[in-house]
């Protein structure tokens, strides 16, 4: 299916790593099934960095494989795109000024979503959700999966 007209969603790390046996994990599974049908999924380089840190922390080959293989399958079968930040320095400072609770990597993820003119950032992170000040600043929606399903 062509995804050029689908709303572009930047997907936060939390949506990819939430265990499937939790309530949020079940929302994540349902959301990922809608990628490339209802939404165009995008992973920013800061998300990929967080995923690599997790992979690097796994000592056992089978654990690494079990973590990585579903991600690669998702990326390939759902035609998930990638986004490298281009000029987010000023935006990072503006996000920090607007809400200093946001962790550094999360600021980078938010800035990438904004710079890419994404429709929304999809996350489970409570510090980012329902933050109208950041949504106005970034000109994107910051949504929990429940709001889409």
User: Under a CB-based contact definition with an 8 Å cutoff, are residues 49 and 105 in contact?
Assistant: yes
Write out the chain's pLDDT in tens, 149 residues: 455 689 999 999 999 999 999 999 999 999 999 999 999 999 999 999 999 999 999 999 999 999 999 999 999 999 999 999 999 999 999 999 999 999 999 999 999 999 999 999 999 999 999 899 999 999 999 999 999 98
Tell me how far apart the alpha carbons of residues 136 and 134 are, in angstroms, rounded to a whole number. Answer: 5
Q: For residue 106, how far is the Cα from the chain centroid?
A: 10
Q: Which residues, 6 or more positions from 27, have their beta carbon under 8 angstroms from its beta carbon?
A: 144, 145, 146, 149
Amino acid 45: pLDDT? 98
Amino acid 149: pLDDT? 86
Q: For residue 121, how far is the Cα from the chain centroid?
A: 6
What domains, with CATH codes, occur in the chain? 8-147 (3.40.50.1010)
Amino acid 1: pLDDT? 47
Please report where in the chains the tokens 């960095």 appear, as a residue.
49
Structure-block tokens of residue 3: 């995804």
């Amino acid at each position: 299916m062509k995804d050029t007209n689908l709303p572009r969603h930047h997907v936060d790390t939390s949506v990819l790593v939430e265990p499937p046996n939790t309530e949020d994990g079940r929302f994540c599974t349902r959301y990922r099934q809608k990628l490339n049908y209802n939404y165009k999924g995008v992973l920013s380089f800061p998300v990929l960095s967080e995923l690599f840190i997790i992979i690097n922390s796994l000592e056992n080959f089978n654990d690494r494989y079990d973590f990585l293989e579903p991600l690669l399958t998702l990326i390939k079968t759902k035609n998930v795109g990638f986004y490298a930040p281009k000029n987010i320095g000023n935006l990072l400072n503006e996000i920090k000024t607007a809400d200093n609770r946001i962790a550094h990597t999360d600021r980078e993820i938010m800035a990438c979503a904004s710079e890419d003119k994404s429709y929304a950032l999809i996350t489970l992170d409570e510090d980012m959700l329902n933050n109208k000040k950041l949504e106005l600043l970034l000109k994107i929606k910051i949504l929990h999966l429940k709001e889409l399903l």
